[in-house]
A and B are shown apart, each in its own frame.
Chain A
Amino acid sequence: MNYFNEFKKGIWQKNPVLVLNLGLCPAIAVTTSVINSLWMALALTFVLVFSNMLVSLLKNFIPSSIRIPVYITIIATLVTVVELVLNAFYPGIYKSLGIYVPLITVNCLVLGRAEAFASKNGIFISVLDGLGIGAGFALILFFLGALREILGANTFFGYTVIKGMQPSSMMILAPGAFFTLGIMLWGMNAINSGKKD
Chain B
Amino acid sequence: MRNIIKSAVIITLVVLFSFMIIFYAGRITFPYISMQEADRQNKTVESVLPEYTVSEKVSVTLDNGEKFSYWEGTKTVDGLEKKAFAFTSVIYGYNVDIKAIVGVDEENMILGISIFQQTETPGSAVRLIEMTGKETTRGAIHGKIFSRDDVTGSLFHEQFRGIELDKKILISDKGLRSQKPDNEIPYRNSITTITGATMSAKYIIDGLEENLNKLVKARLIHEQDLLIKQNLVPGQNKEEIE
Contact = CB atoms under 8 A, between A and B. Distances in A.
Interface of A: 32-33, 58, 61-63, 65-66, 69-70, 73-74, 76-77, 80-81, 84-85, 87-89, 91, 95-96, 98, 153, 169, 172-173
Given A63-B10, A66-B7, A74-B18, A88 B145 contact: no
Contacts of B7: 63, 65-66
A65 B26 CA distance: 31
A75 B137 CA distance: 34
B33 A73 contact: no
B6 to A, nearest CB: 6
Contacts of A95: 148-149
A103 to B, nearest CB: 14
Main SS class of interface, A: helix
Given A80-B25, A87-B33, A74 B14 contact: yes
A95 B10 CA distance: 35
A73 B18 contact: yes
A70 B149 contact: no
A33 B140 CA distance: 13
Interface residues on B, range: 20 to 34
Contacts of B21: 77, 81
B22 interface: yes
Contacts of A84: 22, 25-26, 28-29, 33
Interface of B: 3, 6-7, 10-11, 14-15, 17-18, 21-22, 25-26, 28-30, 32-33, 36, 137, 140-141, 143, 145-146, 148-149
Nearest to A77: B18
Nearest to B32: A88
A196 B145 CA distance: 43
A177 B113 CA distance: 34
B29 A32 contact: no
B14 A173 contact: no
A187 to B, nearest CB: 27
B26 A70 contact: no
Nearest to B18: A77
A91 B36 contact: yes
Nearest to B29: A88
Contacts of B32: 88-89
A84 B34 CA distance: 12
A33 B146 contact: yes
Contacts of A61: 10
Contact of B25 (A32, A62, A85): A85
Contacts of A87: 29, 33, 36
B10 A76 contact: no
Return the 7 tightest CB-CB contacts between A and B, nearest first: A88-B29, A88-B32, A77-B18, A84-B29, A81-B25, A66-B7, A84-B25
A96 B121 CA distance: 21
Contacts of B143: 153, 169
**Taking each of B28, B36, B146, which has the highest tally of chain A beta carbons within 10 Å of its own beta carbon?**
B146
A174 B3 CA distance: 48
